[in-house]
Chains A and B, each alone.
Chain A
Amino acid sequence: MKILPRDLLICFFLTGTCLNAAQLQEAHVTEVVKDVKLGSPQAAPRRVAVGESLRDGDAINTGVTGRSELTFADQTIARLGAKTSISISDATRTMGLGEGAVLFQIPKGADRLKIKTGAIAVASTGATGIIERHGQFYVKVLVLEGTVRCYLTNRLGESLLLQPGQILITKPEVTTLPEPADFNIAREMKTCLLVRDFQPVASQRRIEAEEQKQLKLIAKGTYIPSNLVILGRGTQVTLVNEAPSTTPSPKPLTNAGYQSRSP
């Protein structure tokens, strides 16, 4: 039998496509802290272990003290905070956030990862950020480096690009996206447990570069640090008594010494 170059080409193409599809259809659990459960449509939720594979239809739930890290085939990582539930679909390219908080780090040039929650979707081909949702009350998106496209899945054209240092807070079933605000990246990085309690993210240097860029803009007067701080999850803004500082303490701050103000 004579094998033509064309046949070889088709064979290589088919093999490559199959391998690529297999790679894309897998994600792995790379870190588990305390109570983390894996559920699938075919089985009841059970405790998950490091190294387990995740496929379309799987869901991960973290408990009150649980945290987890997932690594996708293209080295995208997703760190799940406590009380977080996510589901995986679309050949692991889409992550549905039902509740809780996720830090995502998508390497530059990676396959586009989409995170959907309510009517909102965020997508990027290279960025680090945090997305948080609480029930029907709010969705919060923060970008630490790279550019994230935030858009509504049910409204064509309702889309905006979030740049490093921008925070968007809105409702999950919103019909119009609000304008983003700005936050202090350095303070966020120093107090974020999804950064501090894990291995450094691969985009650490790019985040530090964004911190430096922002500090220069603060020094220049383009940004004015306010004494309004959201102390972790939620949307409650706290009026800080101390003078605003661009070099926050390395430890997470407590509620002591702050005046609470309803938003």
Chain B
Amino acid sequence: MQGQAPPGSAQNRAQLLGRQAYPGASATPSGETEGYPVTSPNDKDIGEQQILKRAEEYHPFTISVYSPVYWTSNAALVSKGEQDDVLVAPGVTFMYEPRITNTLYAQVGVIQQFFFYDQLTELNFASLDVIAGLHYYLPQFHNLSLRGYYDYNRLTDTDNFDEIFVDHSIILNAELPFRIARAQQFLAGIALNLSFEGNPESPRRNNYSLYGSYDVALSRSFSLDAGFQLVVRDYYSDDRTDVNEILSVSANYRVRDWLTLSALSSFAWNQSNHSVFDYSVANIGGGVALTLKF
């Protein structure tokens, strides 16, 4: 029947339409200019907000000490006769990054890391990197980050620090972060590692990498990261070319600003035009990292 409301309808309509009119009109602003409230004797009721400028403190020095422990499915990275093992890889990084301009930083650093295997101790080695270069940010291009630096890499055994391999290379790197929200970020990057001097010759190679990572902060202290890297390794000798894929997932818990606990896992696959160098490996472990900035 047209025009006749069902029982109880008035109450429903009162609630529905009444809420639209809610809250009352007395508080509705009127006559505002360009978005600012009209002046009234009470406009100062919330007080004056004097803006304080925070003096920017920049800490150019960083020291990190870390010690991941991994179980690896293929300790020697071989295609046949794989042997699993547990390795500890303690390391220390010292970086000095003086600011030259607001977006240009110099970068000088030393990274020393040791790799100790539980069973296959003959595989133990140490890696020293000394780097020097520049880091340039372009905020106008989506916070594009460009880095170029020289890297001196020396691999030694862990007993007498006898040299196994030494390499001099130039590394060029571009990274583009995409912030999805405050707690999520995707990052894409390319890196070229061009070796111009090395001894012995056979392990020398140029690396061409594409990589991406996704970070999500599930809380202010806990975050998850997933990364993928595709590397083409072009060796200087034996006409060898490898394609390496690395998938990594980590969970990080920041106990303090300077202390982070992590659970780490990575999976790598290597295909080579010399099938003897084909391998796959899974690494699963955890670690603790201490970082100080000053």
Contact = CB atoms under 8 A, between A and B. Distances in A.
A177 to B, nearest CB: 7
Contacts of B26: 35, 37, 45, 61-63, 83, 85
B18 interface: yes
Contacts of B5: none
B44 interface: yes
Interface stretch (A110-118, A120-128, A151-159): A151-159
B191 to A, nearest CB: 29
B216 interface: yes
A99 B50 contact: no
B46 interface: yes
A232 B44 contact: yes
Interface string A23-58: 000000000000101010110010000000000000
A231 B181 contact: no
Given A39-B22, A59-B22, A228 B182 contact: no
A119 interface: no
B80 interface: no
A237 interface: yes
B156 interface: no
B48 A191 contact: yes
B35 A158 contact: no
B183 A157 contact: yes
A232 B183 contact: no
Contact of A248 (B29, B48, B220): B48
Interface string B242-272: 0000000000000000000000000000000
B24 A193 contact: no
B47 interface: yes
> Which of A64, A226, A232 has the most CB atoms of chain B within a 10 A radius of its CB?
A232
> Which of B44, B46, B53 has the most CB atoms of chain A within a 10 A radius of its CB?
B46
Interface stretch (A13-21, A131-139, A199-207): A131-139
Given A41-B14, A59-B22, A191 B183 contact: no
Interface residues of B, number: 39
A173 interface: no
Nearest to A149: B220
A162 interface: no
B42 interface: yes
Contact of A222 (B47, B54, B181): B54
A157 B55 contact: no
Interface string A170-200: 0000001100011110011111111100000
B50 A229 contact: yes
B51 A181 contact: yes
B6 interface: no
B216 to A, nearest CB: 7
Contacts of A60: 23
Contacts of B216: 157
Contact of B24 (A85, A100, A182): A85
B52 interface: yes
Given A65-B42, A158-B181, 17 more contacts: A39-B22, A61-B23, A85-B28, A134-B32, A135-B35, A165-B52, A182-B54, A187-B50, A188-B48, A192-B47, A218-B52, A222-B57, A231-B43, A231-B44, A231-B48, A233-B44, A252-B44
